[in-house]
C-alpha cells in the first residue's frame, strides 16, 4: 500500500472516529438508550484502533524509518492521550451531566486542534 493511501486511510478513520464520538456524546446528553447498544460499544474501539495503527504506520513510513521525528508527531501523540482521557470522562467517568458536557466539548476542541495539526503538519497550525 502506498504512503498516500495510508495517510488517506488515517484521514478516513479520523472522520469516522469523530462521527462516532459526536453521536455518542449527543446520545449521552439526551440519555438515549442507543448508547447501550452492542455495536455502539464495540465499533468505536475498532475504529480508534485502526486510527492509531494507520497513524503509527504513516509515521513509520514518512519519518521514523528515516530516523526523524518532527515536533507535530509528539504533539499528536500527547493530544491523542488527552482526547482519550476527556472522552472517558465525557462518556463514562463524569459524575454530573455538567462535567460530562464540559469534557465532551473540551474533547471536540482538542480533536479539532489535532486535525489542524495533521493537515498543516505544524504543532502551532496556520502560523508560519
Which positions touch ligand HEM (CB under 6 A)?
Answer: 7-8, 10-11, 14, 55-56, 58-59, 62, 73, 76-77, 80, 83, 111, 114-115, 118-119, 121
Closest separation between CB of residue 19 and ligand HEM, Å?
A: 12
Q: Which three cell numbers stand for residue 95?
A: 459524575
Q: How far apart are CA 104 and CA 108, in angstroms?
A: 6
Burial of residue 33 (number of CB atoms within 10 Å: 0-12, 13-18, 19+): exposed
Closest separation between CB of residue 110 and ligand HEM, Å?
A: 8
CB 59 within 8 A of CB 51: no
Of all residues in this chain, which one has the CB nearest to ligand HEM in the complex? 118
Closest CB to ligand HEM among 34 and 81?
Answer: 81
Closest CB to ligand HEM among 10 and 100?
Answer: 10
Closest separation between CB of residue 73 and ligand HEM, Å?
A: 5
Q: How far is CA 32 from CA 11, 16, 49, 78, in A?
A: 29, 21, 25, 31
Closest separation between CB of residue 80 and ligand HEM, Å?
A: 4
Q: Which three cell numbers stand for residue 35?
A: 448508547
Closest CB to ligand HEM among 38 and 66?
Answer: 66
Closest CB to ligand HEM among 20 and 32?
Answer: 20
CA angle 13, 42, 5 (to 5 degrees): 20
Amino acid at each position: 500500500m502506498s504512503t498516500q493511501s495510508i495517510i488517506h486511510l488515517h484521514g478516513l478513520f479520523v472522520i469516522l472516529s469523530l462521527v462516532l464520538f459526536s453521536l455518542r456524546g449527543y446520545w449521552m446528553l439526551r440519555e438515549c438508550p442507543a448508547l447501550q447498544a452492542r455495536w455502539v460499544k464495540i465499533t468505536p474501539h475498532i475504529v480508534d484502533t485502526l486510527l492509531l495503527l494507520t497513524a503509527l504506520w504513516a509515521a513509520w513510513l514518512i519519518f521514523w524509518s528515516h530516523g526523524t521525528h518532527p515536533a507535530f508527531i509528539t504533539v499528536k501523540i500527547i493530544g491523542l492521550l488527552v482526547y482519550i482521557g476527556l472522552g472517558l470522562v465525557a462518556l463514562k467517568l463524569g459524575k454530573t451531566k455538567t462535567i460530562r458536557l464540559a469534557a465532551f466539548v473540551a474533547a471536540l476542541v482538542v480533536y479539532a486542534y489535532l486535525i489542524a495539526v495533521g493537515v498543516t503538519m505544524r504543532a502551532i497550525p496556520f502560523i508560519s
